[in-house]
């Protein structure tokens, strides 16, 4: 690393904060949206866009569905509608195993030395869970407002469970 290179970091923030953020050329972006949203155009070369709700716990039936079909999100959502009902018009869509797999693959494909920016609606839960996992996985410094919110436990469990198995 030359004296001009800054060490890689991972930051998390809200969508609003990300809109005014200057994103470096060697920064990979993870946007976590609510289902049905259009991604923000933040001008980065490496980007992963995911869409799921900030659910932190699941009922017994939801847990069974997520465990059995979490690697196939559209089937999982369809089965939810069939067996558990409509959910008031909003798509039932918690963080699923497929989301964690996409995050892992994306992060592993980003070259060493790159920084990460993770954004979600309020910059408190979903983005923090992903940022904490990236910091641990890549052994880089994490930057964020730790006084706001807590990491989404469902998402953190999905991300960290494979790391724990490989120890």
What are the structural domain ranges in the chain?
A: 9-55+94-165
- Name, in order, each residue with C-beta under 8 angstroms of 62's C-beta and a sequence gap of 6 or more: 80, 84, 92, 94
Q: Record the pTM.
A: 0.91
Span 3-17, pLDDT tens digits: 456 889 999 999 999
User: Which secondary structure element, helix H or strand E, spans residue 115, and what is its range?
Assistant: strand 115-120
Q: What is the pLDDT of residue 2?
A: 46
Which residues of the chain fall below pLDDT 70?
1-5, 162-167
* CA separation for the pair 156, 56 (Å, rounded): 10
What is the SS3 assignment for 116?
Answer: strand
Question: Topology of 9-55+94-165 in CATH?
Answer: 3.90.190
Distance CA 152, CA 101 (A): 16
Q: CA 11, 133, 71, 65 torsion: positive or negative?
A: negative
Tens-digit pLDDT profile for residues 72-94: 999 999 999 999 988 777 889 99
Q: Are 25 and 159 in contact (CB under 8 A)?
A: no
């Amino acid at each position: 690393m030359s004296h001009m290179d800054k060490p890689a970091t991972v930051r998390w923030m809200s969508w609003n904060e990300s809109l005014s953020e200057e994103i470096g050329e060697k920064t990979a972006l993870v946007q976590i949206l609510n289902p049905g949203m259009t991604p923000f155009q933040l001008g980065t070369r490496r980007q992963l866009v995911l869409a799921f709700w900030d659910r932190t716990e699941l009922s017994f039936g939801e847990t069974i569905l997520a465990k059995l079909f979490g690697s196939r999100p559209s089937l999982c959502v369809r089965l939810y509608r069939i067996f558990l009902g409509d959910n008031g018009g909003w798509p039932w869509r918690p963080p699923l195993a497929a989301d964690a797999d996409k995050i892992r693959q994306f992060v592993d494909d980003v070259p060493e030395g790159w920084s990460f920016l993770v954004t979600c609606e309020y910059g408190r839960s979903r983005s923090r869970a992903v940022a904490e996992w990236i910091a641990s996985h890549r052994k880089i410094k994490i930057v964020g407002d730790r006084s706001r919110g807590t990491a989404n436990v469902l998402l953190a469990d999905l991300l960290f469970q494979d790391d724990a198995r490989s120890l």
